[in-house]
Amino acid sequence: MRLSKYFVPTLRDLPAEACAVSHKLMLKSGMIQQISSGIYAWLPLGLRVLQKIEDIIRREHDSIGALEMLAPTLQPADIWIESGRYDDYGKEMLRFDDRGGRELIYGPTAEEVFTYVFRSHVHSYKDLPKILYNIQWKFRDEVRPRFGVMRGREFLMKDAYSFDLTKDAAVRSYEMFFQAYIKAFTSMGLSVIPVRANTGPIGGDLSHEFQILAETGESEIYYDSALDEKLGCTSIEDYEGIYAMAGERHDGSSCPIEKERLIVSRGIEVGHIFYFGTKYSGPLNAYVTSKCGERVPVEMGSYGIGVSRLVGAIIEAFHDDKGIIWPESVAPFLAVIIPVNEECVKMGDEVYHSLLLSSRDILYDDRKKSAGIKFADADLMGMPYQIIIGPEKNARRCVEVKNRKTGESIEVKVEQLDQILFSSTSR
Amino acid sequence: MRLSKYFVPTLRDLPAEACAVSHKLMLKSGMIQQISSGIYAWLPLGLRVLQKIEDIIRREHDSIGALEMLAPTLQPADIWIESGRYDDYGKEMLRFDDRGGRELIYGPTAEEVFTYVFRSHVHSYKDLPKILYNIQWKFRDEVRPRFGVMRGREFLMKDAYSFDLTKDAAVRSYEMFFQAYIKAFTSMGLSVIPVRANTGPIGGDLSHEFQILAETGESEIYYDSALDEKLGCTSIEDYEGIYAMAGERHDGSSCPIEKERLIVSRGIEVGHIFYFGTKYSGPLNAYVTSKCGERVPVEMGSYGIGVSRLVGAIIEAFHDDKGIIWPESVAPFLAVIIPVNEECVKMGDEVYHSLLLSSRDILYDDRKKSAGIKFADADLMGMPYQIIIGPEKNARRCVEVKNRKTGESIEVKVEQLDQILFSSTSR
């Protein structure tokens, strides 16, 4: 993509309410624009990150046999009354009547809709287990939306729902999601801490939150320093016996960990999984016939990832005072090509066209701007690699490939650039 | 995908209100489920078609330099008051107050939001032209939602907006979209008729609708029989001088075409493009500085495709009394593998695993059902190819490849199946 034709409206003057570093950097680098309080438009650069995160999530869900579908954003109030949750969400749930006087709500989550879809079609244990998910916009009318997309009102969520015959099977589904979540977050370059959590308005008696450590995090978490050695482990058993609690579940007086080993930290919740048994299948009448012919309510769990929130959370985890430092897997572009002056534009064009043959993930800063502005914008936008074309190297058909994260540069022959960038073994 | 593990809840008993053939077939084949009047959940099979249509649309938009972003579903009422359109949509526009008492609307379209985004960042002719688009859910509170997803209330729309300095440039953008639309619809296997149309609540003085011929279509269209020879031509000039009008613009007394050449038909509108000049840029204050330093309002156009409606429209165009006949480019799966009995399952497994290496677009009917049921479901779901494994051919390591559209079968060696299916030249 040629930056001169792209739409990346970088900002200098930030609104006063932007206090989180990710919020500031997303506005500065032209990733998002506020349309109303807590409601954002995703500009092209931001949308690319969102779509890459979606793709990673899809891949991990497909790999555990979860099936993608898509629930509508609006839901009839009826099913919320049926489940008994109509009042639980209070003013956070946006409610309104349509022109026919029927009450609709903008889904803050979708346990009811998915249970409704399930109960309409599945009636026998033979069709279990079933795991359905979707990636869809949700709305929660927060009193104080803040931190940009990290606590917005309209937000993109991946929500999945598992339907099993027995509690044992449901717990296995839960454990499968636990693994898939760690894998997905790890693919995004993140270290996540799974902590035992309260179940809140979703309900149930088994629940983990997945937290990223960050000073700006809204959650307080308490954990055993032994946990550090487990980061990246995917199995729920790896974490067994290691204390890790969300703030509201931590009780200093009953905490089994010695003070010296207890770490108190702030985190950003990027995922939350629940096993809640028959809490919804009972009232919503999602029953199947068991092997012995009995009608039993299905055992359920639900599993959420804050997709749009993750964009902010990743920036909280990866930035410096110059800007964003994207992990490769979610970067809007893998590299940005920077000719430092007019003389180097010809080589810039050549490099751009040649790399385009291998990948569309290349940004080309072909603007008629000073090298200083281009370097500053490249650092701000945070692509993993900067391909710098200067006059001296240009003459030798070489470019400088600078790693945004380490700051290290190597000199590469133009003919070898493709191999250096796209073959991970040679990096 | 193994059908036994998939979620394709085919229906036998259809609701009385399903009268359009596409609505019936989408319900029967388990593509969608109604959640509320005019509001649908997209089940896995339906979602796959929706995503393939999205991909085709993205490709054609990228190729004309349109930049993808994403506007929120909810918009502040303010910008609709500013544009003067707040009252134009009447009860079709869903309006409600948030908990802070600010009025929000669920976007029925997004001229205001995109103009707002544009005016916030672009101030000079040097940054023109700019074309922005998004694929996002919209809501229109129809009095009588009907025909399933073809006239739903919550629907997926691709909407694009062009910003140019001059009227000439804006008309060139318009013509570029005209071409891109014909290419996109043609890629979906459709023949579309571009007709001159009224501009309705969008406004402006140049507008084309893209219509697919179908008896169930809601639009009446009048056109010169000479148009038939032009179908598939992409340039706006190809259609010049050939009469083609939306019903509301046709006037029998002033129609220049002889009666014998005038065809009256019904159509489904799948796209609509508008050039409307400064209708929004004026009131919404989207001005740029021109070459001579003047502040001038930008010249705009908007361009819509009914993405979710297209799924229904394609079925209206391609079906028979047994079910859907998907064009390859939008089929949920390219082929379905059907072992006719238990004895053939081993070969079914082998064929499935071998084809999976080339493509994930393969459905495998591994259910323990009779061959009759499998054939009927395959015809209903409408994948372009059925790979039938019968005992006699099985013994010779051959399969039957049946074309859903033509009904023709060929015998293929298992080892050649991959080549037959995935190399378009050998089909």
- Considering only alpha carbons, which residue of chain A is nearest residue B116? A35
**Read out DSSP for A155-198?**
EEEEEEEEEESSHHHHHHHHHHHHHHHHHHHHHTT---EEEE--
Report whether B288 contacts B247 (CB < 8 A): no
Indicate whether A254 pLDDT > 90.
Answer: no
Contact B139/A at CB under 8 A: yes
Domain boundaries, chain A: 3-320, 333-426
Closest CA to A39 of A202, A128, A136, A151: A151
Ramachandran region of residue B142, left (φ > 0), alpha (ψ -120 to 50) or beta? beta
Closest CA to B115 of A410, A118, A162, A35: A35
A104 contact residues in B (CB cutoff 8 A): 36
pLDDT of residue A71: 98
Indicate whether B240 pLDDT > 90.
Answer: no
Report whether A406 contacts A424 (CB < 8 A): no
Report whether B93 contacts B140 (CB < 8 A): yes
Closest CA to B424 of B336, B358, B375, B356: B358
A75 contact residues in B (CB cutoff 8 A): 35-36, 39
Mean predicted confidence (pLDDT) in B247-259: 89
Indicate whether A112 pLDDT > 90.
Answer: yes
Number of CB pairs, chain A paired with chain B, less than 8 A apart: 136
What letter does residue B281 receive in the DSSP assignment?
T
Contact check, Cβ <8 Å, B67/A44: yes
Distance of alpha carbon A110 from alpha carbon B46, whole angstroms: 19
- Give the contacts of B375 (CB within 8 A, at least 6 positions apart): B338, B386
Contact A139/B at CB under 8 A: yes
- Residues of A numbered 320-349 whose beta carbons fall under 8 angstroms of chain B's beta carbons: which are they? none
Report whether B136 contacts B75 (CB < 8 A): no
Reported for A339-347, long-range contacts at CB under 8 A and 24+ positions apart, including other chains, are A339/A365, A339/A366, A339/A389, A340/A371, A340/A374, A340/A388, A340/A389, A340/A390, A340/A391, A341/A371, A341/A391, A342/A368, A343/A391, A343/A394, A344/A389, A344/A390, A344/A391, A344/A394, A347/A389, A347/A394, A347/A397, A347/A399, A347/A414
A37 contact residues in B (CB cutoff 8 A): 100, 102
CA angle B141–B142–B146, rounded 5-degree value: 130
Segment A347-359, tens digit of pLDDT = 999 999 999 999 9
Report whether B189 contacts B212 (CB < 8 A): no
Mean predicted confidence (pLDDT) in B138-152: 94
Structure tokens at A317: 């985890």
**SS3 (DSSP) at A407:** coil
Contact check, Cβ <8 Å, A98/B141: yes
Mean predicted confidence (pLDDT) in A387-406: 95
- Considering only alpha carbons, which residue of chain B is nearest residue A41? B71
Contact A27/B at CB under 8 A: no
pLDDT-derived band at A410 (thresholds 50, 70, 90) equals very high
Structure tokens at B47: 């979602």
Closest CA to A404 of A313, A340, A317, A326: A326
**Read out DSSP for A109-135?**
--HHHHHHHHHHH--BGGG--EEEEEE
Residue A18: other Cβ atoms inside 10 A: 19
Distance, in angstroms, between B244 CA and closest chain A CA?
Answer: 35
A5 contact residues in B (CB cutoff 8 A): 65
Distance of alpha carbon B205 from alpha carbon A46, whole angstroms: 35
Report whether A220 contacts A275 (CB < 8 A): no
Distance, in angstroms, between A43 CA and closest chain B CA?
Answer: 5
Contact check, Cβ <8 Å, A99/B91: yes
Contact A15/B at CB under 8 A: no
Distance, in angstroms, between B47 CA and closest chain A CA?
Answer: 6
Contact check, Cβ <8 Å, B102/A36: yes
Reported for B397-403, long-range contacts at CB under 8 A and 24+ positions apart, including other chains, are B397/B347, B399/B347, B399/B351, B401/B335
Distance, in angstroms, between B250 CA and closest chain A CA?
Answer: 32
How many alpha carbons lie under 13 Å from residue A77 in its C-beta half-sphere?
16
**SS3 (DSSP) at A61:** helix
Contact A91/B at CB under 8 A: yes
Indicate whether B199 pLDDT > 80.
Answer: no
**SS3 (DSSP) at B129:** coil
pLDDT of residue A424: 60
Contact check, Cβ <8 Å, B122/A40: no
Contact check, Cβ <8 Å, A39/B98: no
Report whether B337 contacts B343 (CB < 8 A): no
pLDDT of residue B370: 97
Distance of alpha carbon B427 from alpha carbon B414, whole angstroms: 15
Matching residue, tokens 């959940």: B41
Structure tokens at B68: 């993808």
Indicate whether B427 pLDDT > 60.
Answer: no
Q: Quote the percentage of chain B above a pLDDT of 90.
A: 84
**SS3 (DSSP) at A306:** strand
Indicate whether A258 pLDDT > 80.
Answer: yes
pTM: 0.96
Mean predicted confidence (pLDDT) in B21-31: 97
Q: Which fold has domain A333-426?
A: Rossmann fold (3.40.50)
CATH of domain B3-320: 3.30.930.10
Type and span of the H or E element at B301: strand B299-306
Distance of alpha carbon A47 from alpha carbon A43, whole angstroms: 6
What's the mean per-residue pLDDT of chain B?
Answer: 94
Contact B407/A at CB under 8 A: no
- Give the contacts of B246 (CB within 8 A, at least 6 positions apart): B195, B196, B197, B198, B209, B211, B219, B220, B221
- Give the contacts of A208 (CB within 8 A, at least 6 positions apart): A178, A194, A195, A196, A197, A272, A273
Mean predicted confidence (pLDDT) in A319-330: 97
Fill in the amino acid letter for A322: K
Segment B333-358, tens digit of pLDDT = 999 999 999 999 999 999 999 999 99
Closest CA to B309 of B203, B208, B209: B209
Distance of alpha carbon A114 from alpha carbon B136, whole angstroms: 21
Closest CA to A297 of A154, A419, A175, A122: A122
- Residues of B numbered 156-185 whose beta carbons fall under 8 angstroms of chain A's beta carbons: which are they? none
pLDDT of residue B403: 97
A153 contact residues in B (CB cutoff 8 A): 98
Report whether A219 contacts A246 (CB < 8 A): yes
Quote the crossing angle between the two packed helices B44-63 and B307-317, to the nearest 10°. Answer: 110
Distance, in angstroms, between A44 CA and closest chain B CA?
Answer: 5
B106 contact residues in A (CB cutoff 8 A): 74
Mean predicted confidence (pLDDT) in A400-423: 95
Order of strands, sheet of A362-364, starting from the edge strand that comes earlier in the sequence: A362-364, A335-339, A385-389, A398-403, A409-413
Contact check, Cβ <8 Å, B50/A70: yes
What's the mean per-residue pLDDT of chain A?
Answer: 94
Rounded to a whole number of angstroms, the distance between the first and last alpha carbons of chain B is: 23
pLDDT of residue B424: 60
Contact check, Cβ <8 Å, B72/A41: yes
Distance, in angstroms, between B122 CA and closest chain A CA?
Answer: 8
Contact A73/B at CB under 8 A: yes
- Do the strands B335-339 and B323-324 form a parallel or antiparallel pair, or are they unpaired? unpaired
Check if the interface score ipTM surpasses 0.85: yes
Contact B316/A at CB under 8 A: no
Which of A116-130, B174-188, B252-266, B278-292 is predicted with the least confidence, judged by mean pLDDT? B252-266
Distance of alpha carbon A385 from alpha carbon A352, whole angstroms: 14
Distance of alpha carbon B234 from alpha carbon B178, whole angstroms: 7
pLDDT of residue B215: 80
Structure tokens at B295: 């502040």
For B28, B50, B180, B196, B231, the CA distances from B11, given in Å and listed in that order, are 4, 20, 37, 40, 36
Matching residue, tokens 């490099």: A351
Closest CA to A65 of B295, B4, B128, B275: B4
Helices (H) and strands (E) in chain B, counts: 10, 23
pLDDT-derived band at B202 (thresholds 50, 70, 90) equals low
- Considering only alpha carbons, which residue of chain B is nearest residue A114? B41
Fill in the amino acid letter for B205: D
Greater pLDDT, B26 or B232: B26
Name the CA dihedral angle for B408, B411, B414, B416, rounded to a multiple of 10 degrees: -80
Mean predicted confidence (pLDDT) in A25-48: 97
